[in-house]
Amino acid sequence: DVKVTQSSRYLVKRTGEKVFLECVQDMDHENMFWYRQDPGLGLRLIYFSYDVKMKEKGDIPEGYSVSREKKERFSLILESASTNQTSMYLCASIPGGGLAGNTIYFGEGSWLTVV
Partner 1 sequence: DQQVKQNSPSLSVQEGRISILNCDYTNSMFDYFLWYKKYPAEGPTFLISISSIKDKNEDGRFTVFLNKSAKHLSLHIVPSQPGDSAVYFCAASGKTGANNLFFGTGTRLTVIP
For partner 1, which stretch binds (CB under 8 A), given 11-19, 62-70, 71-79, 94-102? Answer: 94-102
Per DSSP, 72 falls in state T
Rounded distance between C-alpha atoms, residue 54 and residue 67, angstroms: 9
Tell me how far, at minimum, the Cβ of 28 lies from partner 1, in Å.
15
- CB 15, CB 114: distance < 8 Å: yes
Give the three-class secondary structure for 83: helix
63 in contact with partner 1 (CB under 8 A): no
74 in contact with partner 1 (CB under 8 A): no
Rounded distance between C-alpha atoms, residue 103 and residue 83, angstroms: 32
Per DSSP, 58 falls in state -
Report the residue from 18, 108, 113, 115 that binds partner 1 according to the rule CB under 8 A.
108
Tell me how far, at minimum, the Cβ of 54 lies from partner 1, in Å.
11
- Binding region for partner 1 (CB under 8 A): 4, 31, 33, 35, 40-45, 48, 50, 56, 58, 90, 92, 94, 97-100, 103-109, 111
